[in-house]
Chain A
Amino acid sequence: MEETAVSSSPETAEQALSNEAAAVPESVSPFLQRLYGTFCSGAVEELHSLYEATFTRLSERHFKNVPWPSAEAVARLLSAGGAGGDIDDEGDEGSSTDLKVFLLLYKELCYRHIHTRLHPTLTQRFESWENYLELFDRALDETLLEYDLPASWVWDILDEFLYHYEVYCQYRVRGRDNKTAEEEAYVRESGASVWNARHVLEYLQALVNKSGIGAWLQGDAAWAPADHGPAAGLGAASSATDGFADGHAAVDDADADDDDAADDACLRTADDGAPSAAPLAAQSTLYRHLGYYAMVALLRAQVSLGDYRMALAVVEPLELLEADAAAIPSTAPTAASATATGARDTRLYTQVTACHVSLYYYAGFACLMLHRYEQAIRLLGTTVHTISRTRQFHTRSYQYEHVNKRLDQMLAMVGIAHCVSHVYIEESLNAWLRDKYGERLTRMRMGELAIFEELYAHACPKFASPAIAAASKQQFMRDMRQFAADIHAPLRSCLRIYRSIHLRKLAEYLELDGSDEERMENIRAALLALKLKSGAAASGEGDGLATAADLDFLIDEHGLVRTQEWRPSRRHADYLLRSISRLGEQAALFRRVQRERLVASAAAHARKVEARRRAELTAQRQLEERERERQEREERERQAREAAAVVAARPMSLAERLRSGGGGGGGW
């Protein structure tokens, strides 16, 4: 519809627009007006419910197979409708910015709707990209500073940005089958600028830098000293603003040929060069969320490019591995910063379940690919626990299915990491794993490569190109092949059986071929490889001696291998720590229940006393009542008697006399 509007003459375009505006279903236009009004007034709570519930419901009811009305039609609707009433007060300019920003957000919703429910055309894919860029430019030139959005909305914007990117990557790769020749040529031509991996990375990085989320995560102390002077690259605040300028310059550079908006934005920020004291993340919730979630999105983008080390470097400020110990109050150096860090929760991912899952899924995958099996298990295990425990609260969310699938994938990764590294995993997680992948786990331990491949294919994310997917998979399978090589599994079990065994004998048991010298060489190499692997699994933590695996060995000068095995029971400390805290929780719970019961019984007693008192009171009142009635009756009787006396004293009327005369006439 938009295309026809653009191509035809202004009058007909006008006509088409007003037709479209008129065609908007009746229950939808008040919704749009209300959404706009709420957006302008900044009532986040209401916006949240409009966004999460009403939008989904209306999409379901009216736009199941068709896109939402075009932004132009909505603009017309909003400027004509009553919603403009309270906004016009703020003056023309303010309301026009409001409308522009709102329409960007609205268009984002539209394209998202098209991507999830319909098949986007090439034009729509391009427009979606343009729209994201424009939206991000508004964020980068601080226009959005005046507005606020619910956290889930912000997350969805960035999540969808990545999703559209991934979908487009697949679309680009897919063969000629469902593209016309024209589209094909267009995709090839625009390949450099539209949905380009480099621009995606640059924009996300610019958002992270702009928001100053890194400084915010470090706490107050990090940006306060910046007031003393912009020491180049030292103060966190100045580096945040520098970072933005640089980051944006890079974006600008890249887009110089086709993106004027970026130029404008850059100029505008260059003008107000004075660094503000606090990062935007501290000033505005929107920017805080934007920066934080852009970080998670960046993690995902890096993983999709196979850059796992960079991916982990991106989320390093989030201190994911420390997060599970976050219950402990941090020992901050000064009281001021202690209160500052104590007062705020830096774990913004907890606000949106999808973000929580995404963050740990991608970080866990990156760890897995970098052979950091222990870290992977820690990251994934904790998350699987947390999410599965709170899962029932999300059953109605549209992302429920997605979350479930991710949990499944994470469990598969834990399975792989556990098989390869033999790192101890928690009993409950282990039980779950056995329950879900039991048979396959055993077969993986036996070294069956097909199972590794199957679980990897199940667990891996989308990649930016098939080449990257292939490279990652190749490397993964190469590692697994090395792990599952014929020699390694039996070697392990041999080492488990013997306390000490000679190399020659070991070679005999493993039935290695070749001459004596070759066999010795091979067995040495296998032992070395085993050692190197277990060293890598420990991810370089601690000293060189500590291996995460439960098996260790040393060879002496005669070729005697001495082994040392640790039973899982060596994790007493973990177990005890957990049990102690659990006991503490139980005790606290018990105490609370007891206190509540005490309070309840006291209340019951009080009620009983009160009831008795009331009963007595009523009884007494009844008694009094009866007494009064009795008195009244007596009084009445007394009055009656007196009255009777008076009546008797009164002279008889004629009739009475006649009547009594009738009786006693004979006497008269």
Chain B
Amino acid sequence: MASDSEIADLLHSRRYDPAILSTLEAYMERQVRGGADAYDAEANAAVLKLYQLEPDRLQGRTVVLILAKAIMALPSIDLLSCVYLLAPAQAAEASTAASYIGDDGPIRGVLALAERLEAGHFAQFWEELERERADGTALGKLLAEVVDFEQCVRRFMVGALGRTWSRMSPSVLKALTRDDACPHGWRMVTDADEQTVLETPVGSVLSQQPRAAGERLSFERLAPVLCRVGRESARARPRRR
């Protein structure tokens, strides 16, 4: 089994060599079992790239799992950049040009789930996920293999909610994330009506001080102005005498 540094070496030297596919696929399986922290976007992208260059070697299972791992990494652009790679590089004719996503396979299904997340339909995401699981579809089984899938999705959801709400009632949070624990960084507070509400990190910052919408300037950008000011004042001084 290849270590992480060996994988990195492999990617550096033989990124486009189909011979390394099996190693990378095994590596990917390891990420699937490894949970939230075991993730190597670059290696996975390389797998998809190799599938693109050698469509005959494609394995639907690997593609679905890679996409699932990319969903876990949201809101990074990993998922987006993977989607662009889901088309063969060389099509003999225009008629066979259709990408291998297929109309009704697990790849389409996992992308539909991702679409729900991006569109903010969190409740629907859970419903559909449950349906896949309950029906025992190929996608449902595959996603069940991915360790920490739900946990990572939930983390993404909490992040998005935390930027959109200043305070939120626990029932809404539960409806959207299917979890009643108070997320990390959020606080339980009691409002005027003696109801318990959750205050998001943004909300707690906001309640303490009005948000300063100031601009931030890096020193690098200011430096030439200061230089000029220095020069100009040096120039002006002798003239005044």
Contacts and interface: CB of A to CB of B under 8 A. Distances in A.
Interface of A: 169, 172-175, 188, 191, 196-198, 201-202, 205, 233, 243, 246-247, 249-250, 253-254, 305-310, 325, 327-328, 369-372, 464-468, 470-472, 474-475, 478, 482, 521, 524-532, 535-536, 540, 542, 544-545, 553-557, 562, 564, 566, 570-573, 577, 580-581, 584, 587
Residue from B97, B120, B215, B220 having most chain A Cβ neighbours under 10 A: B120
Contacts of B164: 527-528, 531, 553-555
A538 to B, nearest CB: 11
B120 A554 contact: no
B16 A482 contact: no
Nearest to B92: A188
Interface string B151-167: 00000000111011111
A308 B206 CA distance: 37
B16 A243 contact: no
A308 B94 contact: no
Range of interface residues on B (Cβ < 8 Å): 35 or more
Contacts of A581: 224-225, 228
A254 B122 CA distance: 46
Nearest to A526: B120
Interface string B62-103: 000000000000011100110111111111111001110000
Contact of B220 (A309, A328, A572, A573): A328
B119 interface: yes
Given A325-B220, A557-B191, A467 B87 contact: yes
A535 B80 CA distance: 15
6 nearest CB pairs, A to B: A528-B120, A246-B13, A525-B120, A471-B87, A467-B87, A529-B120
B93 A531 contact: no
A322 to B, nearest CB: 9
A558 B141 CA distance: 39
B211 interface: yes
B94 A172 contact: no
A466 B91 contact: yes
A197 B87 CA distance: 13
Interface centre among A468, A553, A573, A577, by most chain B C-beta atoms within 10 angstroms, is A468
21 contacts: A169-B90, A175-B93, A196-B90, A205-B15, A243-B13, A250-B13, A305-B85, A305-B89, A308-B84, A309-B45, A328-B221, A328-B223, A468-B84, A471-B87, A521-B123, A528-B164, A529-B120, A531-B163, A535-B160, A555-B166, A557-B169
B203 interface: yes
With a 10 A CB-CB cut-off, give which of B13, B90, B92, B118 has the most chain A CB atoms. B90
A470 B99 contact: yes
A542 B216 CA distance: 10
A580 B220 CA distance: 15
A63 to B, nearest CB: 33
A529 B91 contact: no
A524 to B, nearest CB: 7
A536 B99 contact: no
Interface string B205-241: 1100001010111001111110010001000000000
Interface string B1-38: 00000000100111111010000000000000000000
Highest count of chain A CB atoms <10 Å: which of B53, B84, B163, B216 = B84
B84 A172 contact: no
Nearest to A555: B165
A371 B87 contact: no
Given A328-B224, A528-B120, A544 B90 contact: no
A205 B164 CA distance: 44
B16 A370 contact: no
A384 B127 CA distance: 47
Contacts of B225: 577, 580-581
A482 B121 CA distance: 12
B202 interface: yes
Contacts of B17: 250, 253-254
Contacts of A542: 216
Contacts of B215: 570-573
Nearest to A545: B202
B94 A175 contact: yes
Nearest to B167: A557
Contacts of A554: 164-166, 202-203, 206
Given A201-B16, A370-B77, A371-B80, A466 B97 contact: yes
